[in-house]
Amino acid sequence: MKQTVKNYLRAVDLGHPPRHPDKVEAELNQLLSDIRGSKEFRALKIVHGYGSHGRGGATRETVRDWAYRFQRHLRAVIYGEDYSIFDDDTQEMREECGQVEDPDLGQANPGITILWIK
Rounded-to-integer distance, Cα 109 and Cα 78, Å? 11
Rounded-to-integer distance, Cα 116 and Cα 30, Å? 15
User: Beta strands 74-79 and 112-117: pairing type?
Assistant: antiparallel
CB 115 within 8 A of CB 36: no
Where residue 7 falls among pLDDT bands split at 50, 70, 90?
confident
Q: What is the value of pTM for the model shown?
A: 0.91
| CATH number listed for the domain at residues 9-117 | 3.30.1370.110
Q: What is the tens place of the pLDDT at every residue in 93-115?
A: 999 998 889 999 999 999 999 99
Rounded-to-integer distance, Cα 95 and Cα 54, Å? 33
pLDDT at 78 over 70: yes
Domain boundaries, the chain: 9-117
